[in-house]
Amino acid sequence: MSDQPAPADTARQQLEPAAADGLRAYAARTRESADQLAAVLEDIAANGLPALENCTPWEELRETHLARLAAQRPAVA
């Protein structure tokens, strides 16, 4: 993506205010997640990997995430 605006001769369709607000909120959440990941990677680069005793196995993380997703989705009869 570019930080430069679109050329003036290209017509752009404007979003509804609610849609634009939702898009801005999504962008903010995405930026926050990216910043958190970058901070973790910078910490690992500066200090090395954490001790194994301080880590959560990926299988536990996966199961927790899948349970969270299942709770958000209504059951199908």
Q: Residues 61-75, buried b or exposed e (16+ Cβ, 10 A)?
A: eeeeeeeeeeeeeee
Residue 77 has pLDDT above 60, yes or no: no
Tell me the torsion sign for CA atoms 68, 69, 73, 77: negative
Q: Is the pTM of this model over 0.75?
A: no
Contact (Cβ atoms closer than 8 angstroms) between residue 15 and residue 23 = yes
Residue 6 has pLDDT above 80, yes or no: no
Residue 5 has pLDDT above 90, yes or no: no
pLDDT digits (tens, 9 = 90+) for 24-66: 999 999 999 999 999 999 999 999 999 999 999 999 999 999 9
